Structure 1
Amino acid sequence: MNLLELQGVHTHIGAYHILHGVDLVVPQGQVTMLLGRNGAGKSTTLRTIMGLWHASKGRVALAGQDITAAATPQIAALGVAYVPENMGIFADLTVKENMLLAARAAKRAEQMDAARLQWIFKMFPAVEKFWNHPAGKLSGGQKQMLAVARAIVEPRQLLIVDEPSKGLAPAIIDNMIDAFAELKAQGVTILLVEQNLNFAKRLGDTVAVMDNGCVVHAGSMADFAADTALQQSLLGLAI
């Protein structure tokens, strides 16, 4: 079963026609990798799914429900979390305050789900270590961990992350891969935009490759990982 489906999605931003009929499926309970050269339309696809930009044509469906024209808060309320490429961290707030803002069911830190927080701390120790520190003082890798931790502070059915490995040290990438694998094991469906092919190979179940605002290849990540000629033709030397 597919949790998320895009059918013939076009997106215009002002005078610019960015997406040209995107067809994409994200199977439930799996990790789907969205790959492509810079400017292929990957981030625009994520923003269109989240309702930050609205499709000018086509359909976006979540668990069979049409969300094409839904507002971003409505989509989030359906259990969809989004981590943008810039992470969206509130630098002047503490790590705790960043987490509390995302925990909509809690008004104070004490009301956050303690068991869930402990689970998050186990995956992302830096979140616990710097709990009372300003988020702006964290390293790039720690901010990325906070951004993902914040997205999952409440249970989500779909987690969408734009370039989670960007700028991260190899040890931090390993930690991030373990965290996404743990989330998948908990039943979370994950859609990731990535430039790091090794990261994608290690984590992805399925893959879709974009070029010029369209999906030009979709299938098994294992098959794609084994086909270097296909990788070269679709991704060039960008990865």
Structure 2
Amino acid sequence: MAGTDALLSLSDVHTYIGRYHILHGVNLEIPRGELTMLLGRNGAGKTTTMRTIMKLWPVREGRIVFAGEDVTRLSTPEIARRGIAYVPENMGIFGTLSAEENMVLAARAGEPNAKRLEWIYDLFPALRKFWRWPAGQLSGGQRQMLAIARAIIEPADLLLIDEPTKGLAPTIIDALANAIDALKETGVTILMVEQNFALAERVGDRVAVMDDGKITHTGTMAALSADTALQCRLLGFDVGGDAA
């Protein structure tokens, strides 16, 4: 991705979890204002990359630069304050609290901005319906909507989303894709991990493929979508098939 206007860049990043060396020199640039898909087989290091960006795992070697600032040694709260929001694979919501209470906790002022909340309602109309329901009683799709809503209740420059469609029904996936399209129109930069290749094709602008803790391919999503041989080589499947 050389030559792009990178909002976030990782240079030779190594991450260990305990004694296990998971990221082996990740080099990655996330262009400003685009959605980059982070794809790869299970265990390739995609989630570890997301967690390393958020400093949930420390960088052993290498450098992370966000908006021109070296953020390699900052803490997770400091990273969030810089304008990076994260929707983890486990969604990160509090099941015993209502959707409203989850949103209040995410708002810096202790109460969601009314105009911002109306915009979120437009993205996720169903949120109005389950606003006062305990989050633990919501369906998988409703919890995912709430998780993304929490992440964007405050304006963010970069949104990290880890496998948002995992286990969801096709109709819910379509609704999430519509919401992601609407988010893209606001100009927010997005890095998304996703196993659903059809969704990646629909919403992705660029793609980075991981294998064994390294980035093995970068390019446009359109080019990867058009090359079935490359898909098979990088991801282990043909169009219409499943990842190996």
Q: TM-score range by the shorter chain?
A: over 0.9
Per the alignment, in what secondary structure is the counterpart of residue 173 of structure 1? helix
1:200 aligned to 2:178?
no
Per the alignment, in what secondary structure is the counterpart of residue 232 of structure 1? helix
CA offset digits 1:95-122 (Å, max 9, x no partner): 00000111012x2xxx421111111111
| Structure 2 letter corresponding to 1:35 | L
CA offset digits 1:66-99 (Å, max 9, x no partner): 1111100000001110011000110000000000
Q: CA deviation at 1:186?
A: 0.7
Q: CA deviation at 1:16?
A: 0.1
Q: CA deviation at 1:187?
A: 1.2
Q: Aligned partners of 2:107 and 2:157: how far apart in 1?
A: 15
Q: Select which of 10, 19, 22 maps to 2:23.
A: 19
1:70 aligned to 2:69?
no
Name the residue aligned to 1:175. 175
Q: Aligned partners of 2:217 and 2:224: how far apart in 1?
A: 9
Q: Select which of 66, 81, 85 maps to 2:85.
A: 81
Q: Structure 1: where are the runs of 5+ without partners? A: none
- List structure 1 runs of 4+ shifted beyond 2 angstroms: none
Q: Aligned partners of 2:141 and 2:123: how far apart in 1?
A: 13
Give the paired residue count: 235
Per the alignment, in what secondary structure is the counterpart of residue 35 of structure 1? strand
Q: Select which of 100, 103, 121 maps to 1:99.
A: 103
Q: Identify which range, 124-133 or 93-102, moves more after superposition.
A: 124-133
Name the residue aligned to 2:9. 5
Per the alignment, in what secondary structure is the counterpart of residue 181 of structure 1? helix
The two structures have a TM-score, normalised by structure 2, of: 0.95
Name the residue aligned to 2:53. 49
Q: Aligned partners of 2:29 and 2:224: how far apart in 1?
A: 16
| Structure 2 letter corresponding to 1:192 | M
Name the residue aligned to 2:156. 156
Per the alignment, in what secondary structure is the counterpart of residue 165 of structure 1? coil
Q: Identify which range, 124-133 or 145-154, moves more after superposition.
A: 124-133
Q: Aligned partners of 2:70 and 2:184: how far apart in 1?
A: 24
Q: CA deviation at 1:126?
A: 2.1
| Structure 2 letter corresponding to 1:65 | E
Q: Aligned partners of 2:227 and 2:69: how far apart in 1?
A: 35
Q: CA deviation at 1:184?
A: 1.2
Q: Aligned partners of 1:67 and 1:166: how far apart in 2?
A: 30
1:223 aligned to 2:223?
yes
CA offset digits 1:24-46 (Å, max 9, x no partner): 11100000000000000000000
Cα RMSD of the aligned pairs, angstroms, is 0.8
CA offset digits 1:4-31 (Å, max 9, x no partner): 0001000011100000000111100000
Name the residue aligned to 2:119. 119
| Structure 2 letter corresponding to 1:23 | N
Q: Structure 2: where are the runs of 5+ without partners? A: none
| Structure 2 letter corresponding to 1:103 | A
- What are the residue-to-residue correspondences of 1:123-138 with 2, within 5 Å? 123-138=123-138
Q: Aligned partners of 2:215 and 2:142: how far apart in 1?
A: 32
Per the alignment, in what secondary structure is the counterpart of residue 96 of structure 1? helix
